[in-house]
Amino acid sequence: MLTDDAGSAGSTRSRRRPRGSLNQRVILDAAFAVSERGGLDAVTFQALGAELGAHPTAVYRHFRDKDELLLAMIDALHAETLAELPEPTSDWAADLAAIARHMHAVFVRHPAVAAYSYRTARREHEYQMVERVIDCMRRAGLDDRDAARLYRVFSDVSLGYSALDAGLASLDPVTRNADLLSWEIQYRALPPGQYPNIAAIAHALPALDDPDNFTTAVDLMIEAIRGRAAAPRDPNAPRADPAQPQAPW
Amino acid sequence: MLTDDAGSAGSTRSRRRPRGSLNQRVILDAAFAVSERGGLDAVTFQALGAELGAHPTAVYRHFRDKDELLLAMIDALHAETLAELPEPTSDWAADLAAIARHMHAVFVRHPAVAAYSYRTARREHEYQMVERVIDCMRRAGLDDRDAARLYRVFSDVSLGYSALDAGLASLDPVTRNADLLSWEIQYRALPPGQYPNIAAIAHALPALDDPDNFTTAVDLMIEAIRGRAAAPRDPNAPRADPAQPQAPW
DNA sequence: ACCTGAACACCGTTCAAGT
DNA sequence: ACCTGAACACCGTTCAAGT
């Protein structure tokens, strides 16, 4: 005997939601739905209210503020990546490439949120991603110090590059095409006298959004990690003072 | 005989600006001043008006809209990088590292703007940065196709990583410290049974904002570029169809 | 406990009006 | 040509009130 008028007339989303049916999961789904249509800027409390069939400020009962909602959306990206990731194999390099490729794919699929993902989510699924990358680094044969450093660098490069590609993908079509075309046309029209190197290789320039750019970056990182795992550490590199024992974590 | 009341009382920024003294240069300086104090969100037309001693909408005479202003700010970052960059030497690898390091330094110095720099500025100073990076790639001995691809990847990694670090730096102090501390504390408190690899190398984890992270990323890229320049191209890699001649750009 | 209504102090952008 | 004033359709967040 709810005041629910489902099935009758009314605009697309104005169905009234029964009391108590609002929760973080439902709100997150609504936030992604809105962001997919109009970008992250479209994720306003008013839009969420309309999408959910609730009052705009009802969301405040479930997320302290907008930042809290954003961090939950970022963690959802990590969750989606993990869900699609195949089990680790015996090949650390292949596993590392798979992690990066899947993360990139998920980010580009949800560009509006991904463009904001320089924030540390500090949530469960982010921890699990970290765990898997460090696992690869240790299996590569790196010592703790290199494993820790290169985990961080590999993750940051993958994240930063994915965010970059997502940022491009999340632009409104008009702006994005202007950015993309500037590489197809504008750069090839630059005066060769002033820009001789651009002119010389303009014929080979990959598109700004060529997905091979990212995979090449990942390949380069793995090649370099392989080299470092094989080579002995540079004796000139700064070292932790041996008089200070390692902390007992 | 201007209606200028300089020197008398009045609030910090309310000096009235003489007609005709507004231009893109002056507005850009004001925009950076505002963004340095309160982040990019603080760069509103009202704030610009107050900073300039002019009506908020006066800016519209000089920039079509806010996007146009933002792109000009990004190009200003490239200009600042170029201004601080030493002349190229005979060592392409050192030159490449210098370009990346200077760009990163400028980005972290202007974090609010840099966090938005996934946009292609399509302006003079961006062109000059591109020219210099491609120059290094060609001096490394790469053929046109590799020079073009690796220019793009190296630039994107440098840009993406710099934007990531800038994003972290541009957070308000409270939020930033929460993100930073999560690596100092939260990650070391994770259950070792569930996260064995994190636990194993937690003692060696670099800080989220450790500048060596970025330089390590640059070093890895250069090591891999050096490897590719030395090695003959992989014959199994996909190749352009030799029946299709190169476009005559 | 969960949600709504109304209010507050903001935004970017447009457009007619002033000088 | 350059700048101002007023208006429009929005924002996130707070808080008292309803159920």
Band of pLDDT at residue B181, cut at 50, 70 and 90: confident
Q: What is the mean pLDDT of residues A133-161?
A: 97
Output A234 or A218, whichever has higher pLDDT.
Answer: A218
B230 touches chain A (CB under 8 A): no
Nearest-neighbour CA in chain A from B49: distance (Å): 24
The burial class, CB within 10 Å (0-12 / 13-18 / 19+), for B1 is exposed
- Tell me the per-residue pLDDT of A31-73, one tens digit each, with 9 for 90 and over: 999 999 999 999 999 999 999 999 999 999 999 999 999 999 9
Confidence at residue B233, expressed as pLDDT on a 0 to 100 scale: 65
The answer to whether the C-beta of B60 is closer than 7 A to strand C is yes
| Rounded-to-integer distance, Cα A224 and Cα A227, Å | 5
Using a 7 Å CB cut-off, which residues contact strand D? Answer: A 42-47, 56-57, 60, 65-67; B 16-17, 19-22, 49, 54-55, 57-58, 60-62
Confidence at residue A234, expressed as pLDDT on a 0 to 100 scale: 61
Band of pLDDT at residue B11, cut at 50, 70 and 90: very low
Instruction: Specify the 3-state DSSP secondary structure of B235.
Output: coil
Please give the distance of CA A84 from its chain centroid, rounded to a whole number: 14
Distances A106 to A36, A46, A75 between C-alpha atoms, Å: 13, 27, 12
- Tell me the per-residue pLDDT of A99-132, one tens digit each, with 9 for 90 and over: 999 999 999 999 999 988 878 888 999 999 999 9
Q: Scanning every residue of chain A, which has its alpha carbon at the shortest distance from the alpha carbon of B143?
A: A201
Please give the distance of CA B59 from its chain centroid, rounded to a whole number: 25
| Rounded-to-integer distance, Cα B30 and Cα B51, Å | 6
Confidence at residue A48, expressed as pLDDT on a 0 to 100 scale: 97
Q: Tell me: pLDDT of B7 over 80.
A: no
Confidence at residue A157, expressed as pLDDT on a 0 to 100 scale: 98
Confidence at residue B81, expressed as pLDDT on a 0 to 100 scale: 97
Q: What is the mean pLDDT of residues A83-93?
A: 97
For the ranges A66-70, B154-158, B164-168, the one whose mean pLDDT is highest: B154-158
B169 touches chain A (CB under 8 A): no
| Rounded-to-integer distance, Cα A162 and Cα A184, Å | 22
Confidence at residue B234, expressed as pLDDT on a 0 to 100 scale: 61
Confidence at residue B190, expressed as pLDDT on a 0 to 100 scale: 93
Q: Tell me: pLDDT of B90 over 50.
A: yes
Residue whose CA lies closest to nucleotide C13 C1': B65
